[in-house]
Amino acid sequence: MAKSRKPARTELGWTASSCYHRPAMRNPGKCRWPIVLLALVLACTGCESGAAALTPVHGKVSVNGVPLHTGTIIFTPDPMRGTLGPLAHAEIQADGTYTLATGDKPGAADGWYRVTIVALEPSFNPAQPDARLLPRSLLPHKYRDPELSGLVCEIRARQDNRIDFNLD
């Protein structure tokens, strides 16, 4: 009579008989075509060099002809006009000028954008010098929302993209 052996145990406590074993393929050439096709597609498309090229964008923001002396301007890609991607932003300088950046890189991708402008100044009450008051908006609230601002522009590659806004 032959002695029966106990199945070997692995480090995880599984018996050798419970491990999965993939059977040999009958026609290994038949399954290679998806890999070859994928390699061909990748070779034809090439590797993307990263984000889209950024185009320099600058301009001036005025309110009734007077330069806005503070604030932030945000260009949000307009998906309704086919533009997707990251938004671009800039701080408005004391003379009303701005220069857009996307992330930490200067410029913005080509395409259509909806524009938002926010300009706040601190409130101060001389009668209550220690009181914390909410900042006062220098612009109508509609300019804070890209859906309501009505400000839309197109950034074009290989052009001087000077985009000025004269708000009322």
Residue 86's φ and ψ, nearest 5 degrees, are: -75, 155
Q: From the centroid of its chain, how far is CA 34?
A: 33
Q: Count CB neighbours of 159 within 10 A.
A: 11
Please answer whether residues 86 and 103 qualify as being in contact, where contact means their C-beta atoms are separated by less than 8 angstroms.
yes
The residue ranges of every structural domain in the chain are 18-45, 57-167
> What is the structure's pLDDT at 110?
95
Higher pLDDT, 108 or 2: 108
Please tell me the distance from the alpha carbon of residue 66 to that of residue 163, in angstroms, as a whole number: 16
Instruction: Give pLDDT tens digits for 37-85.
Output: 444 444 444 444 455 799 999 999 999 999 999 999 999 999 999 999 9
- In this prediction, residues 11-35 reach a mean pLDDT of 44
57-167 under CATH 2.30.30, yes or no: no
